[in-house]
Amino acid sequence: MTARQITLDTTVNGRALSLSVEPEALLLDVLRERLGLTGSKRSCDVQVCGACTVLLDGLPVSACSVLAYEARGRRVLTIEGLARDERLHPVQEAFLATAGFQCGFCTPGMIMAVKALLDDSPSATPEDVREHLRGNICRCTGYASILAAVAVAQRALADGAAG
Amino acid sequence: MTERVIGTSVPKRDGADKVTGRTRFLHDLELPRLAHGKILRARHPHARLLRIDTRRAAALPGVLAVITGADVEQQPFGFARDQLALKVDKVRCVRDEIAAVAAESAAIAEEALALIEVEYAELPAVFDPVAAARPGAPLVHEERGSNLTDLRYQFSHGDVDGAFAEAAAVVEGEYRLNFVTPACLGTMVAIAEWDLEDRLTMWSTTQVPFLYQRDLAQALGIGGDRVRVHQPPVGGNFGRGLDLYPIDVIAALLARRARRPVKIEFERLEEFVACPTREPCTIRLRTAAAADGRLLGRDCHVVIDNGAYVSWGSTTPYVMLSTVAGLYRCPAVRFDTTIAYTNNPYSGSMRGYGNLESTFAVESQMDELAAKLGLDRLELRRRNATKPGDAHPQGFAIGSCAMGECLDALGDTTRGLPPPARGWRRGVGYAGMFHVGGGARIYKSDGCGAIVKCDDFGRVSLITGATEIGQGSETVLAMIVAETLGVPLARVEVVNSDTAVKPWDVGVHASRTTFIAGNAARLAAEKLRARLVAMAAGELEATVEELAVGDGWIFVKAEPQRRIAYERAARTGHLREGGQTLVAEAFYDPPTAMLDKDLRGNVSAAYGFAAQAVVLDVEEATGVIRVRRVVSAHDVGRALNPGAAEGQIHGGIHMGLGYALSEHLVVRDGQILTASFMDYAVLKAEDMPELVVRLVESIDAEGPFGAKGLGESGVIPVSAAVANAVHDAIGVRFTELPITSARVHAALRAGPRD
């Protein structure tokens, strides 16, 4: 650890970590380069495209524009931590079912953004969903299959909660 | 054999990896000792390079190599061989590469770039192709003596002047199409590594791996046998990967100098500056029609801003012409182009490849003709609709064609929509589409190779020349093999990303993969099936005619319990004296011709047709446009995977709506002003209307299981249908894209223009 580095204690995908990082290191770089969690993508660099979306204490953030240090003492969830015991999360299942992806580059961020929304408001209306996804750009699908995936996920989560 | 997979919406095979973040994109690849490269670009759009001093950059700790055009061996490359990867003597646009650095990290490389001193002498520049074509204009390439490129596309068919003389109605207009860019979520990347025997391995965003192999070798002055190309998953492409670009050559040059593998990954700003765009152009078009609406003739002149170097964007008149001559029956056609160098960035190929542009002009005029003649807009299109067996002026052989059915399939386009709110006016617009659907012979070969093998465990591998860029070709090709061989889809593996392994293919473009690579896969699978059946005939003591395949078994049709599994047949094949492995190979090159010097010839083995309707509302006070619904009917021949086909069309409509309404790469005085996703407006989920896709099946005789290409057909008609809908709503005809709310607002304040 050089003099410039600082200690970052954080939890990533349920695992407590203590890392030494440069003070100006971005969360995205630490995830991708230090931890090998390459599911979060770099694309726009200015928190408008959503390809790097991860959850910080359950809330969606653009990891390309958040300092790694801001994750101190907080829980980071990335796409790699979403499936539990090899079982896909209902949002992931829904994206599979409706083919809510083509090239797949926006998909991890899109899924994390949808998870955040449905955790917060399970019965979001289609208008809510479209507005919420303002921060996530997809260049391939025209969003139709993504919006369909959200609806499928909402039903699955409701059934799961009821069952 | 009954079909079980073809025609069903099976999930895409790469889905599980994509939804879990496990897909290893090019951006995610690491290699041992990987170094990172960065490129220094021109500050001015036209300037002499007086001095480049790299000493301070080279001295920075962590820098491994610094190169300029003066100290590398490189050959001219590109469509017209008119550029070097690292420029010498002068720069001709702000994309121009001057120097490059390889370093231990991207940050160090970036820091080193800032330490390179460049002294320029600015030159007068030219940014408008018409001005550039005039005598006395500043010369982009002095040695040429003129800014006109060597490209000119002239075509004439029938009595055009006679057609206009006898016409009941003539409309004319000039249509301006601006720069737009693929804006792929995943930027361009090149990774280069040389081995000790001086062989180069590339990991690339290319979509034409074998042409890339050839062109890169030429640019480096080495034999093509020394270049191997890997194609990891990319974050979109949409035509971006059709050419070789300086990034590829520079990565190879840096890796050679640094003696380390080098990765160059564009940042977003650099992607907006350096990624090839859709070509900006001005289309002057006149259309003549008889009183009953029959088209009599079209006369078209296209001016293209070539930018500083020739790439595929300047060859798009090939496709523009096919629509001017062949979107609807048109007996007389004249076409000409002016393509001039300027100091703007240059354009590559982008989904739809010239056809969005010409369709915008042609379909705007179909509406204007309908108005002049007092005909219903759809009825005018029906009366002129192409039919099977029609003769296209360029000699295209129109086989399967459901243009009329597509127009009919639009149906009641506003049904169920609530009426527009107070202060909003509704418009409906239509546009048709004509595009190649069975490959496009723009090279000597339009072929694709395929190898199919069955292993000892009954697993089938398709090794195809085709390239997956997210469009879903792996899935549809696997379906074709599964169907042909009678094995479960899950048993089929697709191998398609290494030029050292896969057989030759032209590449993924022109909506050709399902048709061309699909036919190759089908042929190879048929050969393998014949060998399996012949082998099984001996084992089962039956004749070949008595056998059938299904579910991974070869069985006697009359007694299905007399059967042998594929894996056993495979083992029986080689675990004996004089044995053989179960491998079959095929090459499919469609029965087509290259265009001759007069631009005639049947370039495609099938043609695709579509019709679209756009329903939108315009707010009178603000000019804001809200698209409510797009109905899109497509003659796809046969929908092999209807879900995937719809997905392609959805994505095309999205890109087309962006072209029509919001996307504009603003280039002023050669500088790019909208180089971020904050300024370059790709449509978001909330901007999208309801999408209604209707797949019309014409069952093409040559296509695999009847299919035709459809990868581009969604994007092509949208902007024309939008412009027609806006006119329908507010009576203003827009002839320039994008139709932004600011432009609509200004037009509304000025009052109706026609």
**Per-residue buried b or exposed e for B300-331, using 16+ beta carbons within 10 Å of the residue's own CB:** bebbbbbbbbbbbbbbbbbbbbbbbbbbbbbb
What part of A 118-137 touches B (C-beta under 8 Å)?
Answer: 129-131, 133-134, 136-137
Token pair of B732, please?
């203003």
Over the Cα atoms of chain A, what is R_g?
16
User: Are B559 and B633 contained in the same domain?
Assistant: no
What pLDDT is stored for residue B608 in this prediction?
Answer: 98
Residue B131 lies in a domain: no
Residue A102 lies in a domain: yes
**Is the minimum CB–CB distance between A60 and chain B shorter than 8 Å?**
no
User: In angstroms, rounded to a whole number, what is the distance separating the alpha carbons of residues A36 and B178?
Assistant: 41
**Per-residue buried b or exposed e for B219-231, using 16+ beta carbons within 10 Å of the residue's own CB:** bbebeeebbbbbb
- pLDDT per position as a tens digit, B143-191: 999 999 999 999 999 999 999 999 999 999 999 999 999 999 999 999 9
Residue B439 has pLDDT above 60, yes or no: yes
Is the previous residue joined to B738 through a cis bond, with omega within 30 degrees of 0? Answer: yes
Number of domains in chain A: 2
What pLDDT is stored for residue A2 in this prediction?
Answer: 60
Question: Would you put residue A59 in left (φ > 0), alpha (ψ -120 to 50) or beta?
Answer: beta
User: Are A76 and A97 contained in the same domain?
Assistant: no
Domain limit, last residue, from A81, A108, A140: A81
Full domain range(s) for residue A123 = 90-162
- pLDDT per position as a tens digit, B225-254: 999 999 999 999 999 999 999 999 999 999
Residue A72 lies in a domain: yes
Per the CB < 8 A criterion, the answer to whether B308 and B138 are in contact is no
HEC sequence for B508-571: CCCCCHHHHHHHHHHHHHHHHHHHHHHHHHHHHCCCHHHEEEECCEEEECCEEEEEEEHHHHHH
What pLDDT is stored for residue B752 in this prediction?
Answer: 58
Residue A155 lies in a domain: yes
User: Are B580 and B645 contained in the same domain?
Assistant: no
The distance of Cα B606 from the centroid of its chain, to the nearest Å, equals: 17
Token pair of B644, please?
């995937």
User: Are A75 and A99 contained in the same domain?
Assistant: no
Q: Average of pLDDT values for B533-538?
A: 91
Residue B734 lies in a domain: yes
User: Are A118 and A155 contained in the same domain?
Assistant: yes
The CB density around residue B600, as the number of other CB atoms within 10 Å, is 17
SS3 (DSSP) at B254: helix
Token pair of B259, please?
């003696």
CATH code at position A112: 1.10.150.120
User: Are A61 and A126 contained in the same domain?
Assistant: no
The CB density around residue A19, as the number of other CB atoms within 10 Å, is 18
Axis crossing angle, helix B355-373 with helix B317-326, rounded to the nearest 10: 20
| End-to-end CA gap in chain B | 60
Average pLDDT value over all residues in chain B: 97
**Is the minimum CB–CB distance between B718 and chain A shorter than 8 Å?**
no
- pLDDT per position as a tens digit, B552-574: 999 999 999 999 999 998 888 88
Token pair of B314, please?
């300047």
SS3 (DSSP) at B709: coil
**Is the minimum CB–CB distance between B16 and chain A shorter than 8 Å?**
yes
| Alpha-carbon distances of B613 from B377, B429, B693, B728, rounded to whole Å | 11, 6, 11, 12
Per the CB < 8 A criterion, the answer to whether B137 and B147 are in contact is yes
Candidates B238, B110, B304, B178; CA nearest to B674 is: B178
Q: For residue B25, give the chain A residue with the closest CA.
A: A105
User: Are B468 and B365 contained in the same domain?
Assistant: no
User: In angstroms, rounded to a whole number, what is the distance separating the alpha carbons of residues A103 and A141?
Assistant: 9
Per the CB < 8 A criterion, the answer to whether B461 and B528 are in contact is no
Token pair of A101, please?
């992806």
Residue B61 lies in a domain: yes
User: In angstroms, rounded to a whole number, what is the distance separating the alpha carbons of residues B89 and B95?
Assistant: 15
Q: Do A37 and B21 touch (CB under 8 A)?
A: yes
Residue B754 has pLDDT above 60, yes or no: no
- pLDDT per position as a tens digit, B478-525: 999 999 999 999 999 999 999 999 999 999 999 999 999 999 999 999
- pLDDT per position as a tens digit, B592-618: 999 999 999 999 999 999 999 999 999
Average pLDDT value over all residues in chain A: 96
Full domain range(s) for residue B584 = 15-22+447-588
Per the CB < 8 A criterion, the answer to whether B184 and B240 are in contact is yes
Which amino acid is located at A151 in the chain?
A
What pLDDT is stored for residue B3 in this prediction?
Answer: 64
What pLDDT is stored for residue A162 in this prediction?
Answer: 72
CATH code at position B430: 3.30.365.10
Length reported for chain A: 163
| Alpha-carbon distances of B31 from B34, B35, B101, B707, rounded to whole Å | 5, 9, 18, 41
Element (H, E) at B667: strand B667-668
| Alpha-carbon distances of A126 from A60, B628, B690, rounded to whole Å | 19, 15, 12
Q: Do A142 and B268 touch (CB under 8 A)?
A: no
User: Residue B461: beta bridge partners?
Assistant: B453, B493
Candidates B305, B250, B290; CA nearest to B101 is: B250
Q: For residue A83, give the chain B residue with the closest CA.
A: B20
SS3 (DSSP) at B307: strand
User: Are A58 and A115 contained in the same domain?
Assistant: no
- pLDDT per position as a tens digit, B286-344: 999 999 999 999 999 999 999 999 999 999 999 999 999 999 999 999 999 999 999 99
Residue A1 lies in a domain: no
User: Are B455 and B369 contained in the same domain?
Assistant: no
User: Are A100 and A140 contained in the same domain?
Assistant: yes
Domain limit, last residue, from A22, A53, A81: A81
User: Are B44 and B191 contained in the same domain?
Assistant: yes
What pLDDT is stored for residue B753 in this prediction?
Answer: 53
CB nearest to A140's CB, from B14, B651, B677: B651
What pLDDT is stored for residue B4 in this prediction?
Answer: 87
- Token match 């108005």: residue? B371
User: Are B658 and B722 contained in the same domain?
Assistant: yes
- pLDDT per position as a tens digit, B577-587: 888 888 999 99
Q: Average of pLDDT values for B698-706?
A: 98
CATH code at position A17: 3.10.20.30
- pLDDT per position as a tens digit, B711-735: 999 999 999 999 999 999 999 999 9
User: Are B210 and B69 contained in the same domain?
Assistant: yes
Domain limit, last residue, from B563, B588, B613: B588
Give the whole-number percent of chain A exceeding pLDDT 90.
93
**Is the minimum CB–CB distance between B418 and chain A shorter than 8 Å?**
no
Number of domains in chain B: 3
**Is the minimum CB–CB distance between A61 and chain B shorter than 8 Å?**
no
User: Are B243 and B351 contained in the same domain?
Assistant: no
User: Are A64 and A112 contained in the same domain?
Assistant: no
Domain limit, last residue, from B588, B617, B636: B588
Candidates B368, B346, B451; CA nearest to B170 is: B368
Looking at residue A33, what DSSP letter applies?
Answer: I
User: Are B407 and B545 contained in the same domain?
Assistant: no
- pLDDT per position as a tens digit, A65-123: 999 999 999 999 999 999 988 899 999 999 999 999 999 999 999 999 999 999 999 99
- Token match 């007694």: residue? B559
User: In angstroms, rounded to a whole number, what is the distance separating the alpha carbons of residues B60 and B70?
Assistant: 21
User: In angstroms, rounded to a whole number, what is the distance separating the alpha carbons of residues B378 and B293?
Assistant: 11
Taking the CA of residue B678 and the nearest CA in chain A, the distance in Å comes to 7
| End-to-end CA gap in chain A | 50
What part of B 454-513 touches A (C-beta under 8 Å)?
Answer: 469-472
Burial label for B58, CB within 10 Å (0-12, 13-18, 19+), is middle
Candidates B114, B132, B116, B112; CA nearest to B124 is: B132
What pLDDT is stored for residue A85 in this prediction?
Answer: 82
User: Are A17 and A75 contained in the same domain?
Assistant: yes
Residue B51 has pLDDT above 70, yes or no: yes
SS3 (DSSP) at B702: coil
Token pair of B470, please?
């997210």
Residue A1 has pLDDT above 60, yes or no: no
Residue B107 has pLDDT above 60, yes or no: yes
Backbone angles phi, psi at B625, to 5 degrees: -110, 130
User: Are A75 and A102 contained in the same domain?
Assistant: no
What pLDDT is stored for residue B611 in this prediction?
Answer: 98
CATH code at position B88: 3.90.1170.50
User: Are A17 and A76 contained in the same domain?
Assistant: yes
What pLDDT is stored for residue A3 in this prediction?
Answer: 65
Taking the CA of residue B619 and the nearest CA in chain A, the distance in Å comes to 20
What pLDDT is stored for residue B573 in this prediction?
Answer: 83
User: Are A12 and A73 contained in the same domain?
Assistant: yes
Domain limit, last residue, from A18, A52, A81: A81
Q: CB under 8 Å to B548, separation ≥6 — which residues?
A: B1, B486, B554, B555, B557
User: Are A116 and A76 contained in the same domain?
Assistant: no
What pLDDT is stored for residue B239 in this prediction?
Answer: 96
SS3 (DSSP) at B434: strand
User: Are B452 and B567 contained in the same domain?
Assistant: yes
Per the CB < 8 A criterion, the answer to whether A147 and B685 are in contact is yes
What pLDDT is stored for residue A163 in this prediction?
Answer: 60
The CB density around residue B422, as the number of other CB atoms within 10 Å, is 6
What pLDDT is stored for residue B48 in this prediction?
Answer: 98
User: In angstroms, rounded to a whole number, what is the distance separating the alpha carbons of residues B636 and B695?
Assistant: 7
**Is the minimum CB–CB distance between A51 and chain B shorter than 8 Å?**
yes
Residue B99 has pLDDT above 60, yes or no: yes
What pLDDT is stored for residue B132 in this prediction?
Answer: 98
**Is the minimum CB–CB distance between A38 and chain B shorter than 8 Å?**
yes
What pLDDT is stored for residue A84 in this prediction?
Answer: 87
The distance of Cα B345 from the centroid of its chain, to the nearest Å, equals: 19
**Per-residue buried b or exposed e for B252-289, using 16+ beta carbons within 10 Å of the residue's own CB:** bbbbbbbebbbbbbbbbebbbbbbbbbbbbbbebbbbb
Residue A37 has pLDDT above 80, yes or no: yes
- Helix and strand numbers (H, E) in chain B are 18, 28
User: In angstroms, rounded to a whole number, what is the distance separating the alpha carbons of residues B80 and B141?
Assistant: 12
User: In angstroms, rounded to a whole number, what is the distance separating the alpha carbons of residues B233 and B24?
Assistant: 7
User: Are B398 and B456 contained in the same domain?
Assistant: no
CB nearest to B684's CB, from A42, A99, A133: A133
Q: For residue A25, give the chain B residue with the closest CA.
A: B107
Residue B199 lies in a domain: yes
Question: Strand pairing of B35-41 and B262-265?
Answer: parallel
User: In angstroms, rounded to a whole number, what is the distance separating the alpha carbons of residues A155 and B411?
Assistant: 32
User: Residue B397: beta bridge partners?
Assistant: B391
User: Residue B483: beta bridge partners?
Assistant: none
Q: How confident is the model at residue B447 (pLDDT cuts 50, 70, 90)?
A: very high
Residue of B9, B13, B18, B34 for testing the chain A interface, max A β-carbons within 10 Å: B18
Token pair of B308, please?
């500083």
Per the CB < 8 A criterion, the answer to whether A32 and A38 are in contact is yes
- pLDDT per position as a tens digit, B8-38: 999 999 999 999 999 999 999 999 999 999 9
User: Are B535 and B647 contained in the same domain?
Assistant: no
Ordered alpha helix ranges (H), B279-428: 317-326, 355-373, 377-384, 403-409
Residue B147 lies in a domain: no
